Amino acid sequence: MDTIFALASAPGKAGVSVIRISGHGAYVAAQSLSTKPLPVRGMSLRILRDSTGDRLDEALVLTFQGPASFTGEDVVELHVHGSMAVVNSVIVALSELPNVRLAEPGEFTRRALENGKMDLAQVEGLADLIDAETEAQRRQAQTVLKGELGQLAERWRRDLIRAASLLEAVIDFADEEVPTDVTPEVNDLLDAVASDLSQQISGVQIAERIRTGFEVAIIGKPNVGKSTLLNALAGRDAAITSEYAGTTRDVIEVRMDLAGLPVTLLDTAGIRETDDVVENMGIALARKRAMAADLRVFLLENQDDAPEFEPDEQDIVVLAKGDLHSASIASVSGKSGKGVDQLVSQVSERLLNRSASAGIATRERHKEAMTRAHLALIEVRRVLEFGEDQYDIGAEEIRTAIRALESLVGRIDVENLLDEIFASFCLGK
C-alpha cells in the first residue's frame, strides 16, 4: 500500500496541529524531514527541515510501529505549531517525497478496518463520535466505538454456529444412531439469539434519534405565542414575532441540547381556516411535521380551547401567555419566562424516558441486518417442527442468519457501503 499523510487535527489556526503519516514508508518519510534520527517507537522533539534545508518547525514526533498503531501500519505523527503557514509548509515537504501521497477522506480509518484494528460498526461509532454534539451522543458513540455491538454480534454468531453444527451432525450421521435429541438445545440457542435480536431491533429507532436528534413541535393557533416561546427556549430571536396573525408560514427549526440530548424545536405555522394560499401551504406543512415529530407541545389560547388534533399520551398541553392570567392547568409565557423552565423539564423528562430503551445498534443498516437474521431464525423454528427431515433446511436458514450478522460488522458484502461511510470522514481520519 502507498504511504499516506494528512492533517489529522481540525484545519485552521490552532495551538498545535497534528499531521499523520501511515504506511510502510512512514518512518522513512518522517526521518527525511528530521535533522536527527527518530526512535522506531516513542516520542522525540525534532527540528523539521524541507529538502533545501530550510527550517519548517520544531515538532513533537510520535512514532508507532505496526501493528501497534491506529491503522495497524507504521504510523508517525508530527505535532507542529498550529499556524496555517507551518502546516502548509510541512504538507508541501511531505508531498514532494517519493512514494508518499495525500490521504483520501477516511483512508486512515479504512486501513484500520482492513487491518483488523476495528470492525465496521466501530468505524460508524467513530464517525458518530466525531459528529457528537451532546453528552448522550458521545456516550452512545463510545459504546459502539469500544466494540460492544461487534462483541454482541460475535456471541450471536458463535451460538448460531453451535446450533447449525448440531443439526449438521444429525444430517451427517443419518444412517447411524444419534443417541441425543439435539432439537431442545438448538431451540434454546435460537430462542436466546432471537430474543436478543428482537430487543436490539426495537431499540434502533430511539438510538438513531439520539444520533440524529429528536424533534419537538410547538403547535397552536396563529398569534398564540409559539414563536415567542421558541425564542425563549432558544435564548435568542430565532423566529419573527408580531401582533399580526399568520406571521410564521414556514417551519422554523432551532437545534438545542436538552439534558444532553440533541433536540430540534419546530415552530410551526398557526393552524386555522384561511383563504390565503401561501398560509395554507404553511399550515399543511405544519401538520405534516407535527405528526412526524417525536413530541408535540400544544399551546392553547384559553382553558376552553381544544388542541388542533388529538395529542398522544406523551404530548404536552399548556396554556399560552401565562403571564396574562392565572389558570388551573399548566401555563407558559415566552414573554415573561413564566413556566419555561418547567416546560423544558417536562420535555427533557419525556425524551430521557424514551432514550432509556435505546439499544446498542444505532443505524437503519444495523436494523436491516438484524431483521434479516431474526426472520431467518423464525423460519428455522418453523421447519424444525417437521422433524429431522427438515434439518438441512434449518441449517441453511441458520447460515443465512449468520451471514446477516457478519454483514453487521463488515465481514461480507459491504464494499459499496464502505465507500459511502469513509467518504464522510475528513482527510486525517
Among 288, 290, 268, 271, CA closest to 280: 271
Residue 193 annotated as part of some ligand binding site: no
Residue 268 is assigned to a ligand binding site: yes
Q: Is 420 annotated as a binding residue?
A: no
C-alpha cell at 256: 438545542
> Binding residue per annotation — 77?
yes
- Was 223 annotated as part of a binding site? yes
Whole-angstrom distance, CA of residue 20 vs CA of residue 221? 56
248 marked as part of a ligand binding site: yes
Does 286 carry a binding-site annotation?
Answer: no
Asked if residue 225 belongs to a known ligand binding site, the reply is yes
State yes or no: 403 annotated in a binding site. Answer: no
Query: Binding site annotation covers 267?
Result: yes
Q: Is 244 annotated as a binding residue?
A: yes
Q: Report strand pairing: 16-22 vs 42-49.
A: unpaired
Per the annotation, does 183 bind a ligand?
no
- DSSP state letters, 212-275: H-EEEEEEESTTSSHHHHHHHHHTS--S---SSTT---S-EEEEEEETTEEEEEEEPPPP----
Backbone dihedral angles phi then psi of residue 113, each to the nearest 5 degrees: -65, -50
Question: Is 164 within any annotated ligand binding site?
Answer: no
- Contact 331/315 with Cβ under 8 angstroms? no
The edge-to-edge listing of strands for the beta sheet with 252-258 is 252-258, 261-267, 214-220, 295-300, 316-319
Helix, strand, coil content of the chain in percent (nearest 5): 45, 15, 35
Confirm or deny that 116 is annotated as ligand binding. Answer: no
Contact 263, 212 (CB under 8 A): no
User: According to the annotation, is 109 in a ligand binding site?
Assistant: no
* Residue 20 in marked binding region: yes
Q: Please indicate if the annotation marks 226 as binding a ligand.
A: yes
Q: Which three cell numbers stand for residue 105?
A: 477522506
* Annotated binding-site ranges for (6S)-5-formyl-5,6,7,8-tetrahydrofolate: 20, 77, 117, 429
* Annotated binding-site ranges: 20, 77, 117, 223-228, 242-248, 267-270, 429
* Annotated binding-site ranges for Mg(2+): 227, 248
* Annotated binding-site ranges for GTP: 223-228, 242-248, 267-270
